[in-house]
Chains A and B, each alone.
Chain A
C-alpha cells in the first residue's frame, strides 16, 4: 500500500504545536499590552472647543486649581468652571482675542460651552474628589503635571487596579493638605515617616471592599 502522507508530515504535529503555543503567547501579549488601560486610556488628549491652555493659566499666570475647580474640597466632583468664571477675568483681559469668540458667544447667548470630558470613570464606579483631597492626595497625583499641558492629556490609566494600588498602600501618595494643589510638590527624604504620621493622625484607612466604589 502506498504511503498516505509524505515524510515531512511527521514534523507537522510538532510544528503545529509550536505554532499554537506561539500564537497563544502572542494573543496573551496582545491583550496584556494593547488591551490594558495603560494603552487604551493614557494619552487621551482631545481638542477642546476653546484652545484653553492650562500651562498658560496655571503655570505662567499662577492661578490655583481651585480658582476654577471650585467644589473639589466639598463635593464628589471638582466641577468644570462656568462661563461666568472665565468672564471674571476675560471681561477685562484679551477681550478682542479670536480664540475667545466662543466664550463671548456663550456669555451673550446664555449657552454653556461643551467641554470634552477627559477623565472618565465608568458609571458603576463611585469616586469622590473631596474624600481624596482632604486627606492630602494631590491633584497632580492623578491628573499629572497639568500646569505643563497646553492640551490636557490623561496621564494615568484610572483602572480599578490603579485605584487599588494606592488604596492598598497610600504612603507614597500622601502629602500635606496645604500642598494638594501644588503641582510641583516633591516628597521629602523622610516622606515615609511623614506619611505614617499623617495616616495615623487622620486614621486614614482606604477601603478595599467592593461596595466602597460599586455602591
Chain B
C-alpha cells in the first residue's frame, strides 16, 4: 500500500470564496440594476433581425415555397437544414439539466439555467421551419390527429409525424423543467426588487414560494422526476429527427448509424453554442467566479468526445458504403467528398473533425480565446454537416437526367439570418429579466453547503489555496 493516505481535494466549483448572500447579490443584481446601454443596442439589432424574419415568413406564405431555392430533386433545402441545426443546438440544455443532474455532476449548476433557456429559444427557432415548409400553413392542423369532415388522419407510419410529437414534447418538458427550476429564484427576486410591479410579477411566477422545508421537498422530488422524464428525450428527439432521413430509401440517408450519429452531433453543437454564449455572458456580467475555467475545460472535453463520435460516424459511413457493396450508396459517398458539393464536405470535415483536436491540449481547453473561436467553428461545421446530408443525397439521386445543382435564394438566407433575431431577442430578454444562474442550486455546491465545512467551534477552514500548496 502506498504511504500516501491523503486524497485529492476536488477543486471548488465556485471560486472567490463567496458566501450565500454574495452569490445571491452577484446574480440578482444583474436583474435589479438599471439596463446597460449595450443591452439596448443589442436588443435593437435583434429586433431588426426578428422583423426581417417576420417579413421573410410573410413573403414566403404569401408567395409560396417557390421563393426558396428548391428544385426538382432537392425538395428539402435550407429550411430542413436550419431546422435540424437549431434542434441540435437545443440538445445541450436538457443534457446539462437532466442527464448531468442524474449523474450528480455538480458543475452543471453554473450553466444549466441559461443552457435550458438557450434550448427553449433554439427549439422555437427550429419549430418555425417545418411549420412553414409545408407551404399551406393554414392547414397545418392536419398534422394533428383531429377528427374532421375529410376523415383524414395523420400517417402514423411516417417519421415526419413522429417528429411533430417528439419536438413538441421536448419543448414542453424543457419549458416545464426550466420553469420549475426558476420558481425559488423568482421568489428571491420577488423579495429583492424595489418596484411594486416587479415584485408582483415575480411573485406571480414564484407561485407563493416561501422556501419552507416541505416546499423544498416537493421541489426536489418534482425536479428529479422531470429530470428522469427529460433524459430519454435527449436521446429520442434527435433520433427521430434522424429518422426523417434514415427511414427513407435515399442513398446516403438510409443508414442505421444515423440515430447515434445525430444525437452525438446535437450534443456537440449544443455544447458549442452554450460555450459561445457562456463566454460572452460571463465576461459582460462578471460571472467568472461561477462559470470558471474548469467549467470551460469540462465542456471542451465533451466537445472533443462528441466531435470524435461524429468523426467516427463520417468515416464509418464511408466504410459501410464500400463494405455494403451497393453501387448507389458508394456513389453517394464518393460524390459527397469529390462531387459538386465537395467544398461543403471539406468545410464540414475541417470544422467538426480537425478543429476540435486542439482540445487534446490542456492549455487550449483552458484558453478563452481558443474555446470561443472553436465553439463558433464547430457550429459552422455542424450547419454544413446538415447541408451535406440533405443536399448531396437529393441533388444526385437515382435519375441522372434530373440532377441539378441546388443554390439557396436570398429568401432562404435572410430567413435563416432572421431566426438569429428571434433567438437573441428572447435571449436578451432572458438575461435582462431572469436570474441567468440558478441561484438556489449554485449555493448547494458551495463549499459552505458541506455540513463539515465549519469545524466544531464554527470557524471557517483555512483557505483552499493553502491546501493546494501544501499538497
Chain A contacts to B: CB under 8 angstroms: 1, 4-5, 10, 13, 32, 36-38, 157, 159-162, 164-165
Q: Mark B187-201, 1 if CB is under 8 A from A, else 0.
A: 000110000000110
B148 — nearest CB in chain A belongs to which residue? A161
Q: Is B151 an interface residue (CB 8 A)?
A: yes
Q: In the complex, given contacts A5-B203, A157-B149, A160-B152, what are 19 additional A-B residue pairs having Cβ atoms less than 8 angstroms apart?
A: A1-B191, A4-B190, A4-B199, A4-B200, A5-B200, A5-B208, A10-B208, A32-B147, A36-B149, A37-B149, A159-B149, A159-B150, A160-B149, A160-B151, A161-B150, A161-B151, A162-B149, A164-B151, A165-B151
Q: Distance (Å) between the CB of B288 and the closest chain A CB?
A: 34
CB–CB B200/A160 < 8 A = no
Q: Tell me the complex Cα distance, A40–B150, Å.
A: 14
CB–CB B203/A4 < 8 A = yes
Chain B contacts to A: CB under 8 angstroms: 147-152, 190-191, 199-200, 203, 207-208
Q: Distance (Å) between the CB of B180 and the closest chain A CB?
A: 15
Q: Which residues of A contact B149 (CB under 8 A)?
A: 36-38, 157, 159-162
Q: Which residues of B contact A164 (CB under 8 A)?
A: 151
Q: Distance (Å) between the CB of B141 and the closest chain A CB?
A: 10
Q: Distance (Å) between the CB of B150 and the closest chain A CB?
A: 4
Q: Distance (Å) between the CB of A152 and the closest chain B CB?
A: 22
Q: Which residues of A contact B151 (CB under 8 A)?
A: 160-161, 164-165
B202 — nearest CB in chain A belongs to which residue? A4
Q: Distance (Å) between the CB of B10 and the closest chain A CB?
A: 39
Q: Tell me the complex Cα distance, A159–B151, Å.
A: 9
- Chosen A-B contacts, 22 in total, with CB atoms closer than 8 Å, are A1-B191, A4-B190, A4-B199, A4-B203, A5-B200, A5-B203, A5-B208, A13-B207, A36-B149, A37-B149, A38-B149, A159-B149, A159-B150, A160-B149, A160-B150, A160-B151, A160-B152, A161-B148, A161-B150, A161-B151, A162-B149, A165-B151
Q: What's the count of A-B pairs with C-beta under 8 Å?
A: 28
Q: Distance (Å) between the CB of A85 and the closest chain B CB?
A: 35
A-B complex: 7 closest residue pairs judged by Cβ atoms: A160-B150, A161-B151, A159-B149, A4-B203, A161-B149, A164-B151, A37-B149
Q: Which residues of B contact A4 (CB under 8 A)?
A: 190, 199-200, 203
Q: Distance (Å) between the CB of B173 and the closest chain A CB?
A: 19
Q: Which residues of A contact B203 (CB under 8 A)?
A: 4-5
Most buried by A among B147, B150, B190: B150
A13 — nearest CB in chain B belongs to which residue? B207
Q: Which residues of A contact B199 (CB under 8 A)?
A: 4
Q: Distance (Å) between the CB of A202 and the closest chain B CB?
A: 25
Q: Distance (Å) between the CB of A127 and the closest chain B CB?
A: 15
B190 — nearest CB in chain A belongs to which residue? A4
Q: Distance (Å) between the CB of B64 and the closest chain A CB?
A: 16
Most buried by A among B151, B152, B203: B151
Q: Tell me the complex Cα distance, A72–B451, Å.
A: 91
Q: Distance (Å) between the CB of A118 and the closest chain B CB?
A: 19
Q: Which residues of B contact A161 (CB under 8 A)?
A: 148-151
Q: Distance (Å) between the CB of A154 and the closest chain B CB?
A: 15
Q: Which residues of B contact A10 (CB under 8 A)?
A: 208
B152 — nearest CB in chain A belongs to which residue? A160
Q: Tell me the complex Cα distance, A164–B153, Å.
A: 13
